[in-house]
Structure 1
Amino acid sequence: MSELAIQDANKKVALRMALFAAGMLALAFASVPLYRIFCQVTGFGGTTQVADTAPGAIEGEIGVRFDSNVNGVPWRFEAPEKVRIAPGARTVVNYTAANTLARPTTGTATFNVSPVQAGQYFSKIECFCFTEQTLRPGEKVEMPVIFFVDPKIAEDPLTAHIDEITLSYTFFPVENPSTSG
């Protein structure tokens, strides 16, 4: 093989490796939004669904417990009492949050549902977790969550045995709050 042919072969290998590296880099950047979409579609990892309306109550009952946590946000964040609801019923509960500092602070909430198999059947119509929350010094607010548990939860062999679901939120600080809205 001539030296020119070897150089051409090396250039082709180098180009393929550069394209492969660029593809892997693009995949790394795309993996977070793709994973988020996957979780929202499947309920994987206790990710809840988003809906416009509840389908309407059916016979039966399921318990929903609520959990509240803060991680680095100087707030008191309290969960509502446990409720028992009919599957499909539109339900409203209020969390409360109070800023304990003498300056405004902003937080954003992450959430999950346990057991994780119930995530695909837990739908939120409205939630404080959809946007950043800014509280003025000493301000105390109610933060509503409007949700329903899809009646199909009773038909799925993996979830038919579930009698209670826990909805958990954790607030984290937002260093540079968005100014829109």
Structure 2
Amino acid sequence: MPTQPTRSDRAFNRSMLIKLVIVAILMFGFGFALVPMYRTLCQITGINNLVQRDATERDARNMQVDTTRTVSVEFDANAHGLLAFKPEQSNLDVHPGEVMTVMYDLSNNEGRTVNAQAIPSYAPKQATEYFRKIECFCFTQQTLKAGESRRMPVVFVIDPKLPKDVKTITLSYTFFELNTPTAANMPPSAQGTGAGT
């Protein structure tokens, strides 16, 4: 026959429950604090600044153009979901220190408004610190209404300090949708049929 918990058992259980609730609240709060802490750390150290301005136009204009070198820049574009996204040209030959502009086309083929963010990546990886973006759609979130299309520039300069053995740089952008659609905010035409219909 099971015994009834004693007063000391109940006190121990109550104290343990309070401790567990406090730990859970602290962990939850720490999870929310991680995002601003991560952003601050990245700003201080310069790590992972892929979606921040790399140079101002004045900085770029003050760079010496190295006309003795030509670097081939290849452009790649990917989009998750039904966004159509592509560069208007697949490659461009540039002199380090020369300010260049390339245009990208973005279209929302969804039947709803989409919020998305582009994340750049570079190959070879060592080129990342020498590819300076002055203007880029990746600096901010993009909001496109249903059926909306947009032409967007990337203004960049390649630092003349780029190692001499790097002759080709691939700039690749991937658009990720930020808002996940739910049945409540999707248009009726995009919603699936229920079991009772």
TM-score by shorter chain over 0.5: yes
Give the 3-state SS of the residue equivalent to 1:151 in structure 2: coil
- 2:66 aligns with 58
Distance 2:135 2:120 in 1: 13
Contact 2:117 2:138 in 1 (8 A): yes
- How far the C-alpha of 1:49 sits from its partner, in A, is 6.3
- 1:123 aligns with 132
Unaligned runs of 5+ in 1: 1-20, 154-158, 177-181
* Aligned match for 2:114, one of 89, 105, 119: 105
Structure 1 pair 61/37, CA: closer, same or farther in 2 (3 Å)? farther
Structure 1 pair 152/129, CA: closer, same or farther in 2 (3 Å)? same
TM-score normalized with structure 1 length? 0.69
TM-score normalized with structure 2 length? 0.64
Structure 1 residues 19-34: aligned runs within 5 Å: 29=34, 30-31=37-38, 33-34=40-41
Percent pairwise identity: 35
Give the 3-state SS of the residue equivalent to 1:152 in structure 2: coil
- 1:81 aligns with 90
CA RMSD between the two structures? 2.9
- How far the C-alpha of 1:67 sits from its partner, in A, is 0.8
Distance 1:151 1:130 in 2: 23
1:174 maps to a residue whose letter is L
- How far the C-alpha of 1:48 sits from its partner, in A, is 8.2
- RCO comparison, higher one (Cα < 8 Å, 6+): 1
Contact 1:107 1:172 in 2 (8 A): yes
Contact 1:47 1:113 in 2 (8 A): no
* Aligned match for 2:100, one of 91, 96, 101: 91
Distance 2:54 2:155 in 1: 10
User: Which deviations, in whole Å up to 9, do the C-alpha atoms of 1:75-104 show, x marking residues without a partner?
Assistant: 111123200001100000011111102222
Contact 1:67 1:167 in 2 (8 A): yes
- How far the C-alpha of 1:71 sits from its partner, in A, is 2.1
- 2:193 aligns with none
Give the 3-state SS of the residue equivalent to 2:41 in structure 1: helix
